């Protein structure tokens, strides 16, 4: 599984092909995201194989990267989807992911989104509150269909991660507290058949380095599942969510298959091996297989500080500004070495800063921001009047598809229309 690497001449490669050649494939346009579709597909295949039984589902968290070319590979590899909006559901379905492999999460699903989900009979609509459950029941009754619902449990586990991406603790807006689960089941049982309680789910947050905290939270879900089964309920699936971390250059993480195997072992050890297991990884499937290539527009040296100013900024890759996330920035034609440059974007915000990166004495013409396949393009904006970046899809060593920027002219036209 390739992703980013370097050859003997220290040229940066993606999926084994020099990024400089791939850049030619998009006419040299920057900033541009490049994705290694083969690596992504192989990762999904690896996870599907680790789960073994075809009943189990790798529900790729679409929010990480919504590109159609990429979703088609997820579908081809036998993956499903975790979606959080009607838009995500529509793209997942249109790229060939079967509704029976799609779960829908989200704390404030719109009525129209619930209606779409209900009409498709998804694997599960994951309810995040007792109040939402009530609304799902109303929509199901209005449409005359039975809603397959799962309860998203807030397992009350705090993970060691950035506060913005921890979701399973007591202060989080996500999920139903354990104390409220009996009431949720009661509402399901009293729904005159409009609500069918088919599962339990959780997602405790992102960037877990090893399965320990994940399993701790999953045990809570298993306990709750056994309680429901003891009470005579029927369950189809348990989703343990996503959150498998990747190495952004700050320390290795267990590979995604290690999480998948640990989850499966836990399900069996908890005596719940008859249930279907759902996992919702996003980042681990796409982040290492995407890079953002940018051009150096300007350098500046002052009082011993060296600045490298790019044509890519927080509008293209928001994670560093939003979470102080670290993405390695490297020259395209040389391995990191020497003293650091301060790498920043063009946006008029101090937070538009990618940090310090060693890149020798001469400023490079082109750089690559690594591990940008997840939560990169999907969180991009047009702030400061900048066009969204180009996206290029790589397979078999070449660019097989380009989704070119619509350009600043398009932005100007739309703003004038506003």
> Mind telling me the catalytic residues?
348
According to the binding rule CB under 6 A, does residue 282 interact with ligand LLP?
yes
Are 124 and 148 spatial neighbours (Cβ–Cβ below 8 Å)?
Answer: yes
According to the binding rule CB under 6 A, does residue 243 interact with ligand LLP?
yes
According to the binding rule CB under 6 A, does residue 327 interact with ligand LLP?
no
Read off the DSSP letter of residue 364: P
According to the binding rule CB under 6 A, does residue 109 interact with ligand LLP?
no
Which of 17, 206, 315, 405 is the binder for ligand LLP (CB under 6 A)? Answer: 206
- In the bound state with ligand LLP, the residue whose beta carbon lies nearer, of 40 and 296, is 40
According to the binding rule CB under 6 A, does residue 283 interact with ligand LLP?
yes
According to the binding rule CB under 6 A, does residue 316 interact with ligand LLP?
no
- In the bound state with ligand LLP, the residue whose beta carbon lies nearer, of 185 and 244, is 244
According to the binding rule CB under 6 A, does residue 165 interact with ligand LLP?
yes
According to the binding rule CB under 6 A, does residue 375 interact with ligand LLP?
yes
| DSSP structure string for 234-275 | ---EEE----B---SSSS----HHHHHHHHHHHHHHTT-TTS
According to the binding rule CB under 6 A, does residue 82 interact with ligand LLP?
yes
Are 92 and 123 spatial neighbours (Cβ–Cβ below 8 Å)?
Answer: no
3-state secondary structure of 316: coil
How far apart CA 398 and CA 14 sit, in angstroms, is 10
Which of 56, 109, 203, 327 is the binder for ligand LLP (CB under 6 A)? Answer: 203
| DSSP structure string for 136-173 | HHHHHHHHT--EEEEEEEE-----SS-GGGB-SSTT-S
> Which residue(s) pair with 103 in the sheet?
82, 124
Are 1 and 14 spatial neighbours (Cβ–Cβ below 8 Å)?
Answer: no
Task: Report, in Å, the least distance between residue 72 CB and ligand LLP.
Answer: 19
The strand pair at 57-61 and 176-177 is best described as: unpaired
CB neighbourhood size of 241 (10 A)? 34
Type and span of the H or E element at 225: helix 212-230
Which of 281, 313, 364, 373 is the binder for ligand LLP (CB under 6 A)? Answer: 281
- In the bound state with ligand LLP, the residue whose beta carbon lies nearer, of 82 and 330, is 82
Number of residues in contact with ligand LLP under rule CB under 6 A: 19
In degrees to the nearest 10, what's the CA dihedral of 369, 372, 376, 381? 10
Which of 155, 241, 313, 346 is the binder for ligand LLP (CB under 6 A)? Answer: 241
Type and span of the H or E element at 72: helix 68-76
According to the binding rule CB under 6 A, does residue 105 interact with ligand LLP?
yes
- In the bound state with ligand LLP, the residue whose beta carbon lies nearer, of 17 and 154, is 154
Task: Report, in Å, the least distance between residue 126 CB and ligand LLP.
Answer: 7
According to the binding rule CB under 6 A, does residue 244 interact with ligand LLP?
yes
Which of 120, 148, 319, 370 is the binder for ligand LLP (CB under 6 A)? Answer: 319
Query: Backbone phi, then psi, for 219, in 5-degree steps?
Result: -60, -35
Task: Report, in Å, the least distance between residue 25 CB and ligand LLP.
Answer: 27
Could you say which residues in the range 28-67 bind ligand LLP, by CB under 6 A?
A: 61, 64
Which residues contribute to the site for ligand LLP (CB under 6 A)? 61, 64, 82, 105, 165, 203, 206, 241-244, 280-284, 319, 323, 375
């Amino acid at each position: 599984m390739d992703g980013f690497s370097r050859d003997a001449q220290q040229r940066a490669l993606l999926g084994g092909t020099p990024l400089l050649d791939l850049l030619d494939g998009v006419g040299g346009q920057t900033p541009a995201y490049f994705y290694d579709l083969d690596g992504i597909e192989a990762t999904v295949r690896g996870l599907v194989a680790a789960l073994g039984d075809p009943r189990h589902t790798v529900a790729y968290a679409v929010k990480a990267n919504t590109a159609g070319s990429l979703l088609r590979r997820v579908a081809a590899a036998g993956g499903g989807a975790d979606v959080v909006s009607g838009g995500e559901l529509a793209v997942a379905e249109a790229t060939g992911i079967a509704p029976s492999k799609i779960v829908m999460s989200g704390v404030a699903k719109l009525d129209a989104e619930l209606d779409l989900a209900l009409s498709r009979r998804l694997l599960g609509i994951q309810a995040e509150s007792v109040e939402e459950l009530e609304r799902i029941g109303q929509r199901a009754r209005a449409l005359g269909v039975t809603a397959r619902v799962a309860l998203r449990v807030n397992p009350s586990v705090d993970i060691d991660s950035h506060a913005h991406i921890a979701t399973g603790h007591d202060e989080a807006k996500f999920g139903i507290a354990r104390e409220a689960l009996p009431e949720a089941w009661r509402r399901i049982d009293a729904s005159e058949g409009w609500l069918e309680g088919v599962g339990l789910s959780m997602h405790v947050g992102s960037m877990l380095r090893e399965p320990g905290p994940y399993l701790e939270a999953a045990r809570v879900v298993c306990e709750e599942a056994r309680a429901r089964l003891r009470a005579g309920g029927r369950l189809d699936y348990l989703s343990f969510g996503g959150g498998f971390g990747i190495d952004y250059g700050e320390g290795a993480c267990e590979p995604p298959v290690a999480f998948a195997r640990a989850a499966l072992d836990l399900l069996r050890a908890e005596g719940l091996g008859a249930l279907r297991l759902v996992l919702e990884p996003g980042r681990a499937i796409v982040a290492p297989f995407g890079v953002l290539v940018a051009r150096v527009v300007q350098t500046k040296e002052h009082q011993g500080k060296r600045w490298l100013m790019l044509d890519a900024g927080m509008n293209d890759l928001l994670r560093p500004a939003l979470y102080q996330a670290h993405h390695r920035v490297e020259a395209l034609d040389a391995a990191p070495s020497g003293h650091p440059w301060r790498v920043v974007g063009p946006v008029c915000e101090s937070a538009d800063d990618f940090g310090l990166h060693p890149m020798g004495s001469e400023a490079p013409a082109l750089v690559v921001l690594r591990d940008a396949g997840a939560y990169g393009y999907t969180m991009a904006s047009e702030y400061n009047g900048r066009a969204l970046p180009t996206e290029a899809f790589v397979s078999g060593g070449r660019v097989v598809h380009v989704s070119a920027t619509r350009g600043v002219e398009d932005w100007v036209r739309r703003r004038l229309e506003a």
